[in-house]
Amino acid sequence: MNLINDPITGGLVLGVIGLLALATGVGQILKRQNDPRFDPAVIEQFNLRMRAWWLMCSVLAAAFLLGQTATVILFFGLSFWALREFITLTPTRIADHRALFWIFLFAPVQYVLVGIDAYGLYSVFIPVYAFLFVPVRVALAGDYKRYLERCAKIQFGLMICVYCLSYAPALLNLPLPNGQNASLLLFFILVVTMGDAFHFAAEHFVGRRIIAPAISANRTWEGFLAGVACSSLFGAALFWATPFNPLQAAGMSLLITTMGFFGGLVMSAIKRDRGVQDYGTLVTGHGGVLDRIDSICFAAPIFFHVTRYVLPAVATTTAINM
Amino acid sequence: MLHPNSQHASSPRAEGTSSGWGEHVDLQTQATRTFLAWLARLISGASVRWIDCQPDTCQRVYFANHTSHLDVLVLWASLPRQVRNLTRPVAAKDYWEKSFIRRWIAKSVFDALLIDRKEIKVHQSPVDLMLKAMGDRHSLIVFPEGHRNTGADLDEFKSGLYYLAKKRPDLELVPVHIDNVNRVLPRGEFLPVPLLSCITFGPPMWLESQEPKTDFLRRARNAVRRLKDL
């Protein structure tokens, strides 16, 4: 069933298209003028990114139009590719081969469980069952060299790339009072993405004190605070797409962008340790899939669970306001 | 299918035709080949890079490092279709004749040239067999290490590549580096793990006049090795 079937979700989609069109227009104008203050390489990079954004938004919109199953499958595809990128960059030993084979089977299982809304199972499948399975399978292979490290790497990859990301499509199954799950998922993706963009811009203009110079030279405390503030305002302005009031929407956006920011920082730390710039080369101008979804991975489970906890309270206030 | 291309990657169309647009292949074989190539790319997630080299249907010898049974399939699948139809892998007879499926893939799909590693006859040396199999239109895929290598570095190359180059100085020798396929399907395993691998084609090389065998083989080995870090 089409997920863009109500005016609120439709409005969000139109808003995104408008935003993209605006940014693309600005990029094209900047490309055509000859002001020496603008670096042509940066503009070219920006335009390349815009093209990739159009592509990604089209894919997401197509999945929404095709319905919930298609959206879950899309996120499964992202998880699968991110897991490939993660394990490819992670040194494993030949003895880990069978364990790795199994974790690539756990990914579709997790998404089937999300698709059929088996909350009691999908919320524990990877952190309990897969978590215990991995060390057992690695031990059975009989290679003890750097044993704990190898197990931890596989478990981490599975948790971040599959478990955490699967909470984004799981938002479609939350029992919301107004039933507008599609717009809640769009709200979430928009806030994460705009949060990244705000951070990027804020670090450029106000960034001074670098948080962790060895990990990321362009993540600063000022940029973090300004970015979080901007995206909280942005999220509050979108409260009509959520079951929250403006203040609650701002709080949720604060939570989402903070987690997203830390997600980017953590994944950067792993990249630095492996000595690479990006996880992959799938989308030109954007690096790999994991480079794009790191913030979503960290924000999704927290947003899902906090929404789930506060939902009864939110539902009551909504009912009173009505 | 979306598959990653680095900025070095060129268009997947073959350019230049020294001997026509591929070979005539019947529909069923073509369909099987296309399916297998697609499957290989899906499993190995191979990104293909052509560095200072373009896909071409001229006669070539692709020589690569060898770490996995999937190497043949992945390298062959990363060639554009017209080139693929003209390219015959050289493979070990003892492995590819073991089961019905392998024999069928080697014969009907790859049109592979199977070399008996155990019994090398004097009157029919592998190099002569390879030259015969190439004729005046086919290209070959060879693994000059002669066996699957499990170490970190390339083994010494066997001399076959040198004698091929000596007897047919017109052949383009194209170094190919295969990265990460050994983790997709390591030695002794039969179920692949769908990681991402990378196939890099380097600039063609030739045997210099008067170049000694060991010098040439070392140069060829370094040509493959240097592609890893490009």
Check residue A137 and give its pLDDT: 95
Check residue A52 and give its pLDDT: 79
A92 — contact with chain B (CB < 8 Å)? Answer: yes
The pairing of strands B172-179 and B113-115 is unpaired
Check residue A321 and give its pLDDT: 54
Q: Which residues contact A191 (CB under 8 A, 6 or more apart)?
A: A231, A234, A235, A238, A252, A253, A256, A257
* Contact (CB<8Å) B5/A101: no
- Helix A7-32 crosses helix A181-206 at what angle (to 10 degrees)? 30
Is the distance from CB of A278 to CB of A148 less than 8 angstroms? no
Which residues of chain B fall short of a pLDDT of 70?
Answer: 1-24, 120-123
Nearest to B45 among A84, A92, A98 (CB): A84
Q: What chain A residue is nearest to B42 in terms of C-alpha separation?
A: A81
Q: What chain A residue is nearest to B179 in terms of C-alpha separation?
A: A88
* Contact (CB<8Å) B195/A84: yes
* Contact (CB<8Å) A85/B4: no
pLDDT digits (tens, 9 = 90+) for A123-151: 999 999 999 999 999 999 999 999 999 99
* Contact (CB<8Å) B196/A84: yes
Q: How far is A274 from chain B (nearest CA, A)?
A: 15
Check residue A286 and give its pLDDT: 60
B45 — contact with chain A (CB < 8 Å)? Answer: yes
The amino acid present at A60, given as its one-letter code, is L
* A14-28, A279-293, B122-136, range with the lowest pLDDT: A279-293
User: Rounded distance, CA B200 to CA A151, Å?
Assistant: 31
Check residue B111 and give its pLDDT: 87
Given a cut of 70, is residue A281 above it in pLDDT? no
B107 — contact with chain A (CB < 8 Å)? Answer: no
A104 — contact with chain B (CB < 8 Å)? Answer: yes
Beta bridge partners of B62: B141, B174
Which positions in chain A touch B45 (Cβ < 8 Å)? Answer: 84, 88
* Contact (CB<8Å) B195/A281: no
Check residue A257 and give its pLDDT: 95
B200 — contact with chain A (CB < 8 Å)? Answer: no
B183 — contact with chain A (CB < 8 Å)? Answer: yes
The pTM is what? 0.86
- What's the distance, CA A43 to chain centroid? 25
Q: Which residues contact B168 (CB under 8 A, 6 or more apart)?
A: B59, B131, B134
Find the mean pLDDT for residues A252-273.
93
User: Rounded distance, CA A231 to CA A188, Å?
Assistant: 11
Nearest to B186 among A80, A88, A94 (CB): A94
Nearest to B2 among A84, A92, A282 (CB): A282
Q: What chain A residue is nearest to B1 in terms of C-alpha separation?
A: A282
**What does the H/E/C string look like for A44-92?**
HHHHHHHHHHHHHHHHHHHHHHHCHHHHHHHHHHHHHHHHHHHHHHCCC
Burial B24-45 (b: 16+ CB within 10 A, else e): ebeeeeeeebeebbeebbebbb
Q: How far is A90 from chain B (nearest CA, A)?
A: 11
pLDDT digits (tens, 9 = 90+) for A27-48: 888 888 777 777 777 788 788 8
HSE, CB side, 13 Å, CA atoms: give it for residue B17: 8
The radius of gyration of chain A's CA atoms, rounded to the nearest angstrom, is 20
Domains observed in chain B: 45-227 (3.40.1130.10)
Find the mean pLDDT for residues A179-206.
89
Q: How far is A106 from chain B (nearest CA, A)?
A: 13
